[in-house]
Amino acid sequence: MAKKGANINIRQRNKKKTGLSNDTFSTDSQQQPSSKLEDDQLLNDAIHSAKAKNQNKTYLYLLLLTVAGSLIVFVVASIMSSPFVGDSSAETPPPLSSPTTTTTTTTTTTREPISKIVTDYKIIQTLPHDPRAFTQGLTFRTDNSTILYESTGNYKESELRVLDLTRNGEILQQYELPDEYFGEGLSYVPPSKGAENGPGRLIHITYKEQTGFIFDVDTMEVLEEFKYDNELTTSEGWGIIHVPPSFDEHDTEYIVSDGSEYLHFWNAQFQTSKPKLRVTYRTEDMAARDMPPQPIKFLNELEWDKSSNTILANVWYQDMLVRICPRTGFLTTIYNLRSLYTDRIPEADSFNGIALNAEGDVWVTGKNWPHLYQIELGEAS
């Protein structure tokens, strides 16, 4: 497949998966599709209340310390006034006259886990980003933490780009997909041990075409085109990540999202390696209302975090990252990033794009965002 020219024509961008205009999803009003408003209400309520809860906890701790101090003073005073203190001749309490044997019944309760909400983060640096890029995927190769690979979407505009972070995110190379493909997720695959196939490959999937491409990571030439006719929940490709060989016993090579609440597992031949996994969450607010875990829909871009063997994911039209356990499907942490990019240009679309380099640095951006951010995520308490 030959490369197309490097010059890009600026075209009117249609919104991903909706066909609606920018006015419909105005970033000024932070509107979302009406179906998502209902689906995400529990999660939105929890995120909005997280900071307030942290402040309330501080006041509660001060109150508890005051009460505890008063209690200690009372106990010490009571002990010192007791007839059994400091007087060896005082009578000791008589033994129980008729000991009885009691049977203690231990009730074991299984407590549902809680999805922690983290509201603090730090911006390490901000670089320019092409606002024409409808970002779908970001990824690093394992042997270079300054070169970032990006995939963009929309029909007749989908590209793969090579960005140099040492040159303010300058585009070094780019490859345009054929017009009939809508580009989606992107992941780097290191070479197999002992293999002589260069430094690795890039795996790129498409939206509705059920077609993927394998690229040479150095030349950006297409090495292979493949089909994935296995059943995805929505029959769509959204995000993809390569996982370590030691992940599980089912020969899983890739984990794929399709815009639903499910993660799908593929082997090296891009076929299903084990049943799909439903992703759920349960916040403290939900636990207080005795609510069970709920599914979280619209999982999008994915990134593997090797430091914890977990998945970081974008959720379509939510300014947050979520951390998922790939074995249980439970969403362990929600990172609230709503204050990351507030002065949005009218053309800016949703938050999307996550990449972790070999050192664990986190880089994020969004569709048609003019900024690329390196951030440090806060810790779950």
CATH of the domain at 342: 2.120.10.30
pTM above 0.85, yes or no: no
Residue 105 pLDDT > 60, yes or no? no
- The separation between CA 49 and the C-alpha centre of its own chain, rounded to angstroms, equals 20
193 within domain boundaries? yes
Identify which has the larger pLDDT, 198 or 97.
198
**Closest CA relative to residue 149, chosen from 126, 124, 180, 183:** 183
Q: How far apart, in whole angstroms, are the C-alpha atoms of residue 256 and residue 109?
A: 35
Query: What confidence tens digit (pLDDT) does each residue in 195-241 have?
Result: 555 679 999 999 999 999 999 999 999 999 999 987 899 999 999 99
Domain count, the chain: 1
214 within domain boundaries? yes
320 contacts: CB under 8 Å, gap ≥ 6: 47, 334, 335, 336, 337, 338, 351
Q: How far apart, in whole angstroms, are the C-alpha atoms of residue 132 and residue 117?
A: 32
Work out the average pLDDT over 163-188.
Answer: 97
Q: Which domain holds residue 231?
A: 113-376
What mean pLDDT, rounded, does the chain reach? 79
Q: How far apart, in whole angstroms, are the C-alpha atoms of residue 353 and residue 148?
A: 11
369 within domain boundaries? yes
**What phi, psi does 200 have (nearest 5°)?**
140, -175
346 within domain boundaries? yes
- Answer yes or no: are the C-beta atoms of 169 and 219 closer than 8 Å: no
Identify which has the larger pLDDT, 177 or 12.
177
With the C-alpha atoms ordered 309, 314, 315, 319, is the resulting torsion angle positive or negative?
positive
- Answer yes or no: are the C-beta atoms of 157 and 11 closer than 8 Å: yes
- Answer yes or no: are the C-beta atoms of 189 and 203 closer than 8 Å: yes
With the C-alpha atoms ordered 126, 127, 129, 135, is the resulting torsion angle positive or negative?
negative
208 within domain boundaries? yes
43 within domain boundaries? no
**Closest CA relative to residue 5, chosen from 181, 184, 174:** 174
SS3 content of the chain, % helix, strand, coil (to 5): 15, 35, 50
Highest mean pLDDT among 17-21, 57-61, 104-108, 178-182: 178-182
88 within domain boundaries? no
Q: How far apart, in whole angstroms, are the C-alpha atoms of residue 190 and residue 365?
A: 24
Query: What confidence tens digit (pLDDT) does each residue in 270-315 have?
Result: 999 999 999 999 999 999 999 999 999 999 999 999 999 999 999 9
Q: How far apart, in whole angstroms, are the C-alpha atoms of residue 265 and residue 247?
A: 11
Residue 82 pLDDT > 60, yes or no? no
Work out the average pLDDT over 350-373.
Answer: 97
293 within domain boundaries? yes
* Number of neighbours of residue 128 by Cβ within 10 angstroms: 11
Please give the radius of gyration of the chain, using alpha carbons only, rounded to the nearest integer: 27
Work out the average pLDDT over 176-181.
Answer: 97
**Closest CA relative to residue 282, chosen from 39, 113, 119, 118:** 113
* DSSP line for 294-315: EE---EEEEEEETTTTEEEEEE
* Number of neighbours of residue 328 by Cβ within 10 angstroms: 13
Taking every pair of Cα atoms in the chain, the longest distance, rounded to a whole number of angstroms, is 102
* Number of neighbours of residue 299 by Cβ within 10 angstroms: 26
Out of 85-99, 198-212, 320-334, pick the least confident. 85-99
Query: What confidence tens digit (pLDDT) does each residue in 237-253 have?
Result: 999 999 988 887 778 99
